[in-house]
């Protein structure tokens, strides 16, 4: 849950910095939760045939593309800006996932 809140805060900060869009924290939490679930389910489904690292790379790129399109459609930002926000968001999410899993184990 902490990761979802951190991801949402990053999304709000990135949208405010890059495109000067105001986004509610609840909507950002919804987008962050959807992206986290999509990455988790995708990696879980593709880890067996592809290996976990390759599955993570493929799913992170796919979720980044989908999230970029969603940001552009919801907030009317330019595609280049929305894909940059989505790319940074996915990198932060993957970095936090790896960092928290290393702290736990």
Residue 78 gets the label, from left (phi > 0), alpha (psi -120 to 50) or beta, of beta
For 3-15, letters b (16+ CB in 10 Å) and e give: bbeebbebbbebb
The contacts found for 19-28 with CB under 8 angstroms, 24 or more apart, are: 19/75, 19/77, 19/78, 19/81, 19/82, 19/85, 21/75, 21/77, 23/75, 27/74
Here the tokens at position 53 are 């690292």
The contacts found for 67-71 with CB under 8 angstroms, 24 or more apart, are: 67/31, 67/35, 70/31, 71/15, 71/31
pLDDT digits (tens, 9 = 90+) for 40-98: 899 899 999 998 889 988 998 999 899 889 888 888 888 888 888 888 888 888 888 88
- Looking up tokens 């045939």 gives 49
**CA-closest candidate to residue 81, choices 25, 20, 29:** 20
pLDDT digits (tens, 9 = 90+) for 7-41: 888 888 888 887 777 788 888 888 888 888 998 89
């Amino acid at each position: 849950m902490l990761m979802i809140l951190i991801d949402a805060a990053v999304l709000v900060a990135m949208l405010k910095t890059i495109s000067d869009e105001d986004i509610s924290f609840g909507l950002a939490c919804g987008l962050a939760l959807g992206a986290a679930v999509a990455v988790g389910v995708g990696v879980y489904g593709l880890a067996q045939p592809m290996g976990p690292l390759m599955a993570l790379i493929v799913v992170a790129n796919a979720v980044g593309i989908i999230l970029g399109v969603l940001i552009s459609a919801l907030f009317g930002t330019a595609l280049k800006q929305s894909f940059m926000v989505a790319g940074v968001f996915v990198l932060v999410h993957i970095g936090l996932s790896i960092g928290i899993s290393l702290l736990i184990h």
